[in-house]
Amino acid sequence: MHNQHDYVLRTVEERGVRFVQLWFTDVLGTPKAFTITPAEIENALEEGMTFDGSAIDGFSRIQESDVLARPDATTFQILPWREDDAPVARVFCDISNVDGTPFQGCPRHVLRRTLRRARDLGFTVFAAPEIEYFYFTDADPEHAPTGLDRGSYFQLTVADLGSDLRQRSVLLLEEMGIPVEYSQHEDAPSQHEIDLRYTDALTMADTVMTTRLVVKELAQENGVYASFMPKPLAGVQGSGMHTHFSLFEGEDNAFADPADNHGLSKTARAFIAGLLHNAGAITAVTNQWVNSYKRLSPGYEAPAHVSWAHNNRSALVRVPFAKSGNPDSTRIEYRAPDAACNPYLTFALVVAAGLDGIEAGYDLPREAAANLYAMTPDELAKDGIRPLPGSLHEAIEVMRPSQLVAETLGDHVFEWFVRNKRAEWHDYTTQVSQFELDRYLPQL
Amino acid sequence: MEPLLAHPDPLPAEIALALDQAGVPRQAVASADLVEATAPDDGWSGAIVFAAEDLERALELCQAVRSGESPLAPLLLVIDPSQLPALAACRHLFDDFCLTSAPQAELVARLEQLFWRTGLGSRPELIEHGALVLNLETYQASIDGRPLDLTYMEYELLRFLAARPGKVFTRETLLSRVWGYEYFGGARTVDVHIRRLRAKVGEEHAHLIQTVRSVGYRFGQPPGWIR
């Protein structure tokens, strides 16, 4: 532990680091930071930095509002996009109470606690998200978002600022030790995707925060805007964060069973079953905004129903075929989360839902082979395929009675989240939308 | 200075005294099988092996030092005059020897000469390998003169590998030596960190850390590789 502190202190000194940003995340997944000088870093590492948590979404409590940001020295990293002559470093923090106990409102703590549960069952969790986003000319809500190009999937566009920015983002990420599996132009105009290589789930949640920031930062430097909004444009697909998960038991992929005709172990089947069982209840977190449900409407490559399949992109859980002879690549892909979720809480709930399946021994329902978008509600019901919540309101009401979600998030986050999201829904329902004006004003 | 491997355990009093007076830190190792397990993080600075009591056991230990991770460790063998004829068969196992009758001053002088010749006597400050430079004092790494901004574990992994070029390590060995035995996470952790290191050193230097299929990883080229 002390070597790590030494390492950070020496690096700050040797590299002439001017400022260290202490990064953490509020309950809704918004990145937060405050900056300290090198003179304060030693004390920050030893004792943490006190700050008033009441201004942070989901941190506020009635009595005591001071909390401690405790840097996780293993995440100390010099930021590559800053000037070399005045380097700035960042370090992720765990938030604790002033007495040193973990602060219940800290999303990183929620994920840590869930991963500890997985570990007690003998599992290490790996995650690999595919992050989609748009480049727009600006973020002005007064007009519809304007893309930078009219490209489409895999299109090689000439002198395309969006693709250039994406590639430079990937290089920056690599410089920060974040390996990218691949990146591409997505389906919609000006939409891009960055797929990250798997790593342990906690590091990956940190990495998602870093990735969003790097992408936004580079866009801003170039006078444009990068958005992870789930569905910024009507009529084209939204921005998801499909995430691949695998569990390892020591050296072995606990999801793999080469003898099975799907290559799936009993553990994998139970994990998927648990995920499907709890899918409705965790949706409010994996898709936490009013706008998230516009993406989940059928027909735009986003899941709308609780189902699993091998090669059916309308399914909620997809099981990609493992590369032949490499059972270690066996994994499941959860397709509901959008690019604007809180990765800590999302990963925590997906893992908890899957572990619930393993512990309770749920049976995996039949694979959904058909295109679910093309099925009528009656046909879906006959096959026992339930829809995902269709709105934030519905998602919150489905989540509320869930013991699993309450236990995983902890009372503090759970209660705050329900309150906050009900308020968001209330604000939304009091609005009169452009849709209503266009449709009703001329005729009513 | 990293400790000197000293055999046997305990060391004969006169040798222990000589080392103490010369200020050479040491760690006693009883047998060959303990050489790897007891090695300090940065490797032994060298070895002094007292063979007069049990030559066979002592040579076994020398063999382990030679075939271990730091085969360069200078090795001084202390023997009984009656063992002189046996040396011819095992010259590759030591760098120098002296007799048990040698005065303490000679023993220390020979050690110092060995350290000077191999450049290992003090803790190495720099590890240089082609474009890569690791400064062990300041924890800084650079490639082509460009600083590498590593996290602590990335640095530790690179340091471990770069200090032992050409040697292949299994992921399990790296996990236990770099992360420690109590680390939970499995060998995939090693793969993840190797990938991060390769990403950071950049594509043109990614070959510095080689994957040895179905075995593990190696820093640089295998021994005997000719450019």
Comparing alpha-carbon positions, the chain B residue that sits nearest to A91 is B151
Q: Grade residue B166 by pLDDT with cuts at 50, 70 and 90.
A: confident
Instruction: With respect to residue A422, please indicate whether it lies within any of the assigned structural domains.
Output: yes
Q: How high is the pLDDT of residue B227?
A: 42
The model's pLDDT over B21-45, given as tens digits with 9 standing for 90+, comes to 777 888 889 988 888 888 887 677 7
Q: Quick one: DSSP state of residue A313?
A: T
The Cα of B172 is separated from the nearest Cα of chain A by a number of Å equal to 9
Please state, in angstroms and as integers, the Cα–Cα distance from residue B33 to each residue in A442, B12, B58, B68, B171, following that order. 89, 21, 12, 11, 21
Which of helix, strand or coil describes residue A59?
A: coil
Establish if B205 touches chain A: CB-CB under 8 angstroms.
no
* Beta-carbon separation of A119 and B139 below 8 A: no
| DSSP H/E element including A279 | helix A266-286
CB contact under 8 A, B192 and A77: no
**B226: pLDDT confidence band, cut at 50, 70 and 90?**
very low
Instruction: Report the predicted TM-score, pTM, of the whole model to 2 decimal places.
Output: 0.81
B150 touches chain A (CB under 8 A): yes
Q: Which domain holds residue A85?
A: 2-96
Give the pLDDT confidence score for residue B121 in this predicted structure.
Answer: 47
CATH of the domain at A73: 3.10.20.70
Residue of A7, A83, A125 to mutate when probing chain B, most B C-beta within 10 A:
A7
pLDDT band of B1, cuts 50, 70, 90: low
Residues A363 and A277 in one domain: yes
Task: Search chain B and give the residue with CA nearest A246.
Answer: B188
Q: Closest Cα of chain A to B192: distance in Å?
A: 6
- The reply to whether A46 and A127 lie within a common domain is no
| Residue B139 shares a structural domain with residue B178 | yes
**Shortest CA distance to A47 belongs to which of A104, A107, A4, A96?**
A96
Would you call A198 and B192 a contact, using CB atoms and an 8 Å cutoff? yes
> At residue B159, does pLDDT exceed 50?
yes
pLDDT in the model for residue A207: 97
Residues B25, B111, single domain; the answer is yes
Of A6, A119, A175, the CB nearest to B200: A175
User: What confidence score (pLDDT) does residue A119 get?
Assistant: 94
Nearest CA in chain A to B149: A78
Q: Are residues B33 and B51 in the same domain?
A: yes
- Three-state SS for A161? helix
- Give CA separation, B166 vs A233, A375, B95, in Å: 55, 60, 22
Q: How far apart are CA B80 and CA B25, in angstroms?
A: 24
Same domain, A252 and A284: yes
Token reading at A48: 């943490």
Q: Which of B3, B42, B50, B57 is nearest to B25 (CA)?
A: B3
* Average pLDDT, rounded, for chain B: 83
Mutation site, B41, B170, B192, B197, interface A, largest A CB count within 10 A: B192
Give the closest-approach CA distance of A85 to chain B in angstroms. Answer: 12
Q: Is residue A67 part of a domain?
A: yes
Task: Say if the Cβ atoms of B192 and A119 lie within 8 Å.
Answer: no
Identify the pLDDT of residue A232. Answer: 95
Report the candidate in B160, B127, B144, B121 with the shortest Cα–Cα distance to residue B200.
Answer: B144
Q: DSSP states of A208-221 as a string?
A: HHHHHHHHHHHHHH
The first and second tokens of residue B123, run together, are 């803790």
- Using DSSP's 3-state secondary structure scheme, residue B218 falls into strand
* B78 and B150 share one domain: no
For residues B82 and B224, which has the higher predicted lDDT (pLDDT)? B82
Mark whether A58 and A117 lie in a shared domain.
Answer: no
Chain B contact present for A16, CB below 8 A: no
Q: Is residue B200 part of a domain?
A: yes
Q: Which of A246, A383, A217 is nearest to A322 (CA)?
A: A246
Nearest Cβ partner for A179 among B138, B195, B202: B195
Instruction: Say whether pLDDT at B65 is over 80.
Output: yes
Nearest to B186 among A74, A124, A178 (CB): A124
What is the number of structural domains in chain A? 2
Q: Pick from B99, B118, B137: which residue ends a domain?
A: B118
Chain A contact present for B185, CB below 8 A: yes
Contact B138 A10 (CB under 8 A): yes
- Between A218 and B222, name the one with better pLDDT: A218
Last residue in a domain, options B101, B118, B135: B118
CATH number of the CATH domain containing A224:
3.30.590.10
Q: Do A199 and B192 touch (CB under 8 A)?
A: yes
CA A218, A222, A223, A225 dihedral sign is: negative
On whether both B8 and B54 belong to a single domain, the answer is: yes
Q: How far is A160 from chain B (nearest CA, A)?
A: 24
Do A233 and A144 lie in one domain? The reply is yes
Q: Which residues of B touch A14 (CB under 8 A)?
A: 138-140
B73 part of a folded domain: yes
d(CA B110, CA A111): 58
Q: Are residues A250 and A152 in the same domain?
A: yes
Q: A129 with A54, same domain?
A: no
CATH number of the domain encompassing residue B134: 1.10.10.10
What is the mean pLDDT of each successive set of 10 residues along chain A, which is 444 residues long?
83 92 96 94 93 83 79 93 81 94 95 96 95 93 82 54 90 90 84 94 96 95 95 94 94 90 92 97 98 91 90 88 78 96 98 97 87 80 88 98 97 95 97 95 94
Residue where a domain terminates, one of B69, B84, B118:
B118
Which CATH number fits the domain that encloses residue B34? Answer: 3.40.50.2300
Q: What pLDDT digit, counting tens, does each position of B104-145 carry?
A: 888 888 888 887 776 554 445 788 888 899 998 888 999 998
Q: Mark whether B114 and B130 lie in a shared domain.
A: no
On whether both B196 and B136 belong to a single domain, the answer is: yes
Residue A302 and residue A259 share a domain: yes
State which residues form the domain around B12: 4-118
Beta-carbon separation of A77 and B149 below 8 A: yes
Chain B nearest C-alpha distance from A58 (Å): 30
Looking at per-residue confidence, does A403 or B2 come out higher?
Answer: A403
The verdict on B101 and B44 lying in the same domain is yes
Q: B197 lies in a domain?
A: yes
Domain boundary among A96, A127, A154: A96
> Would you call A198 an interface residue with chain B, using a CB distance cutoff of 8 Å?
yes
| Same-domain pairing of A80 and A122 | no
Sheet of B216-219, strands arranged across: B168-170, B216-219, B209-212
Residue A270's closest CA among A364, A395, A396?
A364
Domain identity same for B108 and B147: no
What total number of domains does chain B contain?
2
- Note whether A250 contacts B: Cβ–Cβ < 8 A: yes
The verdict on residue A254 lying in a domain is yes
Q: Is B40 on the interface with A (CB under 8 A)?
A: no
Q: Is the Cβ pair B152, A124 closer than 8 Å?
A: no
- Does residue B30 sit within a domain? yes
Task: Say if B200 is an interface residue toward chain A (CB within 8 Å).
Answer: yes
Within 13 A of B117's CA, how many CA atoms are on the CB side?
14
In a domain, B224, yes or no: no
Question: Does B81 reside within a domain?
Answer: yes
B204 vs A contacts (CB less than 8 Å):
none
Rounded Cα distance between B143 and B202, Å, is 9
Cβ distance A179 to B199 less than 8 Å, yes or no, reads: yes
CB-based contact A75 B151, cutoff 8 Å: yes
Q: Is residue B199 pLDDT above 60, yes or no? A: yes
Chain A residue with minimum CA distance to B140: A11
Helix (H), strand (E) at residue A394? helix A392-399
- The verdict on B133 and B110 lying in the same domain is no
Residues B185 and B86 in one domain: no
Q: What is the ipTM of this complex?
A: 0.78
- What is d(CA B160, CA B42) in angstroms, rounded to the nearest whole number? 8
Query: Which positions in chain B touch A76 (Cβ < 8 Å)?
Result: 151-152
Say yes or no: A82 and A140 in one domain: no
Q: Residue count of chain A, please give it.
A: 444
pLDDT reported for residue A64: 65
B194 and B91 in a common domain: no
Terminal-residue alpha carbon distance, chain B: 33
Q: What pLDDT shows up at residue B181?
A: 61
